[in-house]
């Protein structure tokens, strides 16, 4: 079992077998502020890497969530429909968005590990 891998758009993926669980990073949830609504894709949909897979809305604005890797959506976190604030509270845990069956596992090599992502974020302003 590996750790989290991050995209430059602040999504993370945790891979177990051929299934990747996807969410948004702690930095991303902090930037968004209070999450009030999450729109999840239909199970069975195929998404390409960097394609819009979900929408997350804060009090202020709507933002796209991009698939950090390509695959087929096999499960979505329906709990978020009633409790979107889980994205703020546990962004890399219970606040996950969706699970993908990876179609191109090689894409993982292009993502950042925890240390590289921490470096990347520290180079960004708060806004």
Partner 1 sequence: MSDDAGTDALARTPLFMEHRALGATLVPFAGYAMPVRYPAGIMAEHTHTRSAAGLFDVSHMGQLRLTGDGAVAALERLVPGDIASLAPWAMRYTQFTNEDGGILDDLLVTRSDDGLILVVNASCKDSDIAHLERRLDAGVDLTVLADRGLVALQGPKAAAVLERHAPGCAWLSFMTAGWFTIGGVDALISRSGYTGEDGFEVSLPANETAAFWRRLIAEPEVEPVGLGARDSLRLEAGLCLYGHDIDETTSPVQAGLAWSIGKRRRQEGGFPGAPRIQHELAEGPRRRRVGILPDGRAPAREGTAILNADGDEIGIVTSGGFGPTAGGPVAMGYVAADAAETGRPVSLLVRGKPRPATIVKLPFVPHNYHRG
Q: By CB under 8 A, what part of segment 57-116 binds partner 1?
A: 57-62, 81, 84
CB of 125 to partner 1, least distance (A): 3
Residue from 19, 49, 50, 55 in contact with partner 1 (CB under 8 A): 55
Sheet holding 19-24, edge to edge: 5-6, 11-16, 19-24, 98-102, 71-76, 46-47
Q: Give the other-Cβ count within 10 Å of 106's Cβ.
A: 9
Residue 72 · residue 44 · CB < 8 Å: yes
Tokens of 1: 């079992």
Cβ nearer to partner 1, comparing 6 with 102:
6
Q: Give the other-Cβ count within 10 Å of 55's Cβ.
A: 15
The residues facing 63 across adjacent strands are: 56
Cβ nearer to partner 1, comparing 10 with 14:
10
Residue from 2, 16, 18, 34 in contact with partner 1 (CB under 8 A): 34
Cβ nearer to partner 1, comparing 18 with 60:
60
- What residues line the site for partner 1 (CB under 8 A)? 33-34, 36-37, 39, 55, 57-62, 81, 84, 122, 124-127
């Amino acid at each position: 079992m590996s750790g989290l891998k991050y995209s430059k758009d602040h999504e993370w993926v945790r891979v177990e077998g051929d299934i990747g669980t996807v969410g948004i990073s702690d930095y991303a949830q902090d930037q968004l502020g209070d999450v009030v609504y999450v729109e999840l894709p239909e199970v069975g949909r195929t998404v390409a890497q960097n394609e819009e897979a979900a929408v997350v809305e804060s009090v202020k604005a709507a933002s796209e969530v991009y698939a950090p890797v390509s695959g087929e959506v096999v499960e979505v976190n329906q709990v978020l429909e009633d409790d979107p604030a889980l994205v703020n509270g546990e962004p890399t845990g219970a606040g996950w968005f969706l699970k993908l069956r990876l179609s191109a596992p090689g894409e993982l090599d292009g993502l950042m590990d925890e240390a590289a992502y921490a470096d990347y974020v520290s180079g960004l302003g708060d806004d």
